[in-house]
Amino acid sequence: MVLLMTRTKLSLVLFLLIAGKGKAESPPNVLWFVIDDMSAHFSCYGEKSIETPAVDRLAKEGLLFTKAYATSPVCSTFRSSLITGMYQNSIGSHHHRSGRGEHRIQLPKGVKPIPELFQKAGYYTCIGSGLAKCDYRSVRTTKQKRGKTDYNFDWDVEVYDSHDWAGRKKDQPFFMQVQLHGGKLRGASASGYLALEKRMKEQFGMQPTLPNRITLPPYYPKDPVILRDWATYLDTVKITDWHVGQVMERLTNEGILENTLVVFFTDHGISHARGKQFLYDEGTHIPLIIRGPGIPKGKKRDDLVEHIDIAALSLAAAGIKVPDRMEGADILDRNHQPKEAVFGARDRCGEAADRIRSVRTERYLYLKNFYPQRPHLMPSNYKDGKIIIQRLRQLHAEKKLGTLAEKLLFSPTRPPEELFLYGKDRWQTNNLANDPKHAKAIVSMRRHLGQWIKKTGDPGPESPEVYVLETEDQMKSNRNAASRENYRKNSELYLRWAKESN
């Protein structure tokens, strides 16, 4: 057995005692399921249109969090903060897909990716599909490779030993990230939907979800294109559930399940007009389920937690000291105090430069739009390439959208502040920011946000020079000439808007 560093032995012993063990045994393995582009649309979270037996079983055998939130609603910024346990703004990694080309980003002194911390503690670190014969898309394959990282800073690829834990030494504990394609499986076009529906039947023996069973958020029209997209998205949830079940079966067959801490979560919400990239619940509310040694079975917690907490709780479970500077909290610690507020930030996504900040408490969601003069559905080469956004724009042009959709999706401006009540406003459609009854709440939320901005040293927007470097780098990676030209025109628009606002 590979021993942990001396300074971590005491915390490891305490962890094992809490787990009900009488003596120190092998350190637990730590396995994360990290799912792309998916909200909490699982049966155990109340989804009625489909069944998700594998994830439901995880919840039955573990601990489910009902109020877990991403601190960022897009892949790279989420993952940059996940792997450091830091707010993406604190480490300067808050702009999507940044620091990849001429402009480089270094982590602040003392901040390290947690696989490096696991390695130093003797763990075998790996990132892949979790299955020998399937890749991250659940596609049968004989070629295996490491899974998605997507970090917005310079890092050493050697922090990962392999794509899978099979290569570790005998009895060596492992830290594994099972990276799955999730909601991205549905694609962005009608042909993508057809391919997935065919695959559902041929590979999994599943019938595609029927659009007439779908319940949409109230601001999306009950249009055939929108309904079919949502149904196909739910098919990706079912495929994801299948993959989770296969990995759990492997852990069982290898006799290591009961000594493995399993953490299941997604990297942000569904990719849609008001979901991914935005700070409403559709974009930031994520599932979080934990199963393993010392974890209560079949329990739920309703306190507010952030996805950066996953780093801290995972290190602590392995008996590794949580760095003092880490902003995530060990929410499994018996002395953990529930958070009064959790925070979120949206910044540049592709060429679409934006700045939105959010604060959530037990009662309210508060958003501050730093560019209220810009519409919600701003030009975005990424989002405008999706059939659902194209359809929404078409319905808008034909004046066939309802009042709520027009107001929330196509208003030419946004309110500077938004305030929503939990429990009474599930989809955040009734803005109470100007309601005198909630004047004290607005003041309190502003204070929370101001303190967070100061604490994190929130850098805010990029300079025009850095924006040009980043967007030009992203254009180079785009092989589609028409898409590249659209991206270029959009970036010129954002530069003009930035200049006009100064």
In the chain, what are the domain boundaries?
Answer: 6-336
Q: Tell me the mean pLDDT in the region 336-354.
A: 98
**Measured in Å, how far apart are the chain's first and last C-alpha atoms?**
60
Q: SS3 for 186?
A: helix
Average model confidence (pLDDT) across the chain: 94
Q: Where are the alpha helices (H) located in 322-415, listed in sequence order? A: 387-397, 403-409
Non-local (6+) Cβ contacts of 296 within 8 A are 62, 63
Q: How confident is the model at residue 48 (pLDDT cuts 50, 70, 90)?
A: very high
Digit-coded pLDDT (tens) for 468-493: 999 999 999 899 999 999 999 999 99
- Stretch 40-66: mean pLDDT, rounded? 98
pLDDT tens profile 73-101 = 999 999 999 999 999 999 999 999 999 99
Q: What pLDDT is attached to residue 4?
A: 37
Across 204-211, average pLDDT: 95
pLDDT class for 8, splitting at 50, 70, 90? very low
Average pLDDT score over residue span 284-301: 98
CB–CB of 418/433 below 8 Å?
yes
Q: What is the pLDDT of residue 21?
A: 40
Q: What is the C-alpha to C-alpha distance for residues 416 and 376, in angstroms, rounded to an integer?
A: 12
Say how many residues make up the chain: 502
pLDDT in tens, 111-152: 999 999 999 999 999 999 999 999 999 999 999 999 999 999
Q: Coil, helix or strand for 146?
A: coil
The secondary structure of 235-282 as a DSSP string is HHHHHHHHHHHHHHHHHHHTT-GGGEEEEEEESSS-SSTTSTTS-SHH
Tell me, what's the pLDDT at 11? 40
pLDDT-derived band at 9 (thresholds 50, 70, 90) equals: very low
Ramachandran assignment for 493, one of left (phi > 0), alpha (psi -120 to 50 degrees), beta (any other): alpha
**pLDDT above 60: residue 319:** yes
User: Quick check: 31 pLDDT over 90?
Assistant: yes
Please report the pLDDT score of residue 502 as a whole number. 72
- Identify the weakest region by mean pLDDT among 27-31, 419-423, 434-438: 419-423
Domain 6-336, CATH among 3.40.720.10, 3.40.50.970, 3.30.70.580, 3.30.70.20: 3.40.720.10
Which of 151, 85, 94 has its CA nearest to residue 309? 85
Q: Using CB atoms within 10 A of its CB, is residue 235 exposed (0-12), middle (13-18) or buried (19+)?
A: buried
